[in-house]
Amino acid sequence: MEKEMLFFLSIIIHMVQLICLGWLGSIFFRKRERTAGKFILFLCLLTLAQIWTADNYLIYSIAQQMLLILFFYMIFCGNHWEKLGLSAILAAVWEFTWNGINSILSICEIILSNNKFFPFERGSGYVISILSFSISTVFIYMLFYKTKLSEGNFLPEGGKILFPIASLLLLLINLCNFGITRGVAMVSDNGADYWNITHNELFTHMEVLTVSALCTVICLSLLFGMDRLIKYITVDNLRKIEISRYKEMLEQYRKQSDVRHDLKNHLISLSSLAEQEEWDKLKKYLQKIYHEANMDRSDIETGNSIVNAIINTKRQSAVQNDITFDCNINIPKPLRIDDYDLCIIWGNILDNAINAAGVTKYKYIFVQTEIIKKNLLINVKNSIAPDILQNGLDRQNWGTGLKNVNRIVQRENGIMDIEINDTVFEISILLPIVQESAYDIN
């Protein structure tokens, strides 16, 4: 009866493992369509693996972890190594956390069952297994929920680093647990307590706890170290954009100063052309002065240096592609959303707008932001080719950029909406803000 109960419990755990792995993976990647069949397939494979390898814990553990990693790989979209690396890290941290919490609960149970003041009868290991599994799942979700890692946002070749290291650490904990199932245990000393089962059991659980904790720290250090490095790279790129904008502004100011310095000579030339009634030459001369002084350009000021850099850079790119770029901006200060996420939102929606409008007959982009009841509304409209309307655009057809934008919007408890009418593509994003003051720039 106990074997049947254990087998039934393991099937439930496998089912919950697959559900939770898909749930956790959706933080980083977008799911493929029709994953129900894969879920049933891998549940059957996990069950068969348990039946066929019931007498060998090591082979069963390795088979189980390989199937979980393969399941993750098959149900999500993305780069192959990114999926393999992250799935191995998730499986490893989950295994280490489960082992660690299981050891902590087992130690508490042993201590309570051996105290003289409050007698406590040791129960079944099922309760500890279920508690360990539940706590580790919640812990991992809370741990990874705020990470910036996402599809297409990993370091190049990062998955090739994560996968082998996580796999080796999984093998280490499997060997440790395999030894314990074969009677290999830590002992208190070589004296009278050598055969003290309680002490040896405590030391063995402490061994597993220590190994699990060390392996968890290694995996998380790799993952969050990569996450932090990506943030640094993004911030550095933003600073480079800002520096580039400042250099352009200095160059613009220098040219305007040169024009002012030579203004007397320019006026003499213009007066001479007017007296001779050479109107075409006069017009060309004025246009040249106007262009040299960059008087046809004025930087957009939004109240946020990051948004300034991105919008002005994207506007310059749009103008180079003969795209009309209009702005009507109302930006709150400060924003609740951080600069990193703000860069992803603005960068992706403006890049998409420039790419789409660049291949149309009537090229234009209109950007508008305003405050609506303590929420920031971002609205971007651009011209699109008619074939996009014919093909349609739903959530399944969103590119990686829009997926990343939508992920940030959902995390910030915002709303994102896309509409396509005739030859106009419109994206609207509503984000909660910390409202203190606002600047209206037209």
Q: Are residues 39 and 180 in the same domain?
A: yes
Task: Determine the Cα–Cα distance for residues 13 and 134; give it in Å rounded to an integer.
Answer: 10
Residue 280 domain-assigned (yes or no): no
Same structural domain, 223 and 338? no
**Would you place residue 437 in the very low, low, confident or very high pLDDT band (cuts 50, 70, 90)?**
very low
Final residue of a structural domain among 188, 214, 237: 237
- 135/221 same-domain check: yes
Has residue 269 been placed in a domain? no
Residue 290 lies in a domain: no
Listed residues 184, 208, 237: the one ending a domain: 237
Residue 348 corresponds to which tokens in the numbers above? 């992706």
Residue at token pair 């494979």: 45
197-261 vs 305-320: helix crossing angle, rounded to 10: 60
Highest-confidence segment of 1-5, 126-130, 226-230 = 226-230
242 found inside a domain = no
Are residue 99 and residue 212 in the same domain, yes or no?
A: yes
Alpha-helical regions (H) of 262-367: 263-275, 279-292, 305-320, 339-357
Beta bridge partners of 438: 332
**Residue 285 within any structural domain of the chain:** no
d(C-alpha 37, C-alpha 43), whole Å: 10
Range of the domain at 104: 2-237
Q: Is 320 found in the same domain as 202?
A: no
Q: Do residues 19 and 117 share a domain?
A: yes
Classify residue 36: in a domain, yes or no.
Answer: yes
Q: Are residues 218 and 357 in the same domain?
A: no
Is residue 383 assigned to a domain?
yes
pLDDT at 442 exceeding the cut of 70: no
Read off the DSSP letter of residue 193.
Answer: G
Cβ-based neighbours of 400, under 8 Å, separated by 6 or more? 151, 152
Is the residue at 271 inside a domain? Answer: no
Span 268-289, pLDDT tens digits = 777 887 888 788 888 887 777 6
Q: Which amino acid is at 92?
A: A
Q: pLDDT tens, 305-355?
A: 777 778 888 888 888 888 998 888 777 666 778 777 888 888 889 988 998
The pair phi, psi for residue 343, each rounded to 5°, is: -65, -45
CATH code of the domain covering residue 413:
3.30.565.10
Domain tally, the chain? 2
Ranges 69-78, 165-174, 178-187, 198-207, most confident:
165-174
